[in-house]
Amino acid sequence: MLMAKVKQDNMPSNDVKATAIGIKHWGWITVLIIILDQASKILADYFLQYHQPVAVMPLFNFTLLYNKGAAFSFLADAGGWQRWFFLVLTTAVSVFIYSWLRKLKPHQVLQYTSLALILGGAIGNLIDRAIYGYVIDFLDVYYDSYHWPAFNIADSAITIGAILLIIDTLKNPHEDS
């Protein structure tokens, strides 16, 4: 009886097992996004000339830009304080998302996937901001002379993750996490 009690106390709880299962499901997505994002930005920074478009196909160029602000260059000309603001904000959001991921149940696959994409994108852009003081953008979608603000793989992952999270919320409005 005592031996059974000791073994039971040393075994991981169901919460720990669920978290381990969850990390196996979403951790690789986050890491993959970070690697693809950072590798593509290094290549873009090395091979592209700043602000010189390289035509890839109709409606799409590679154009190297440095974004000191947030989405759509919001606060880009704010004088430098925004770097630290966005570093702190992104770190806090990343910790929040990581905590949220750890609380999910194994069957919440769409939520795992969406949050893993958002976390990978957030960390990808956080790395840029911490190292360079700006985010490297190089994907340029346009029509005629109208250009969508340049973006990167991290931004794409965040956008896709947010869309999937909205879909999951609409599909499962009463799912508790």
Residue 157, token pair as written in the block: 């992952």
Under 8 Å CB-to-CB from 16, ≥6 apart: which residues? none
Q: How far apart are CA 50 and CA 98, in angstroms?
A: 34
Catalytic residue among 137, 140, 144, 168: 137
**Could you tell me where the DSSP H helices lie in the chain?**
2-10, 14-47, 81-103, 109-132, 153-171
Q: Has 144 been annotated as catalytic?
A: no
Under 8 Å CB-to-CB from 119, ≥6 apart: which residues? 30, 94, 97, 98, 101, 161
Catalytic residue among 37, 128, 140, 155: 155
Q: Has 137 been annotated as catalytic?
A: yes
Catalytic positions, written as ranges: 137, 155
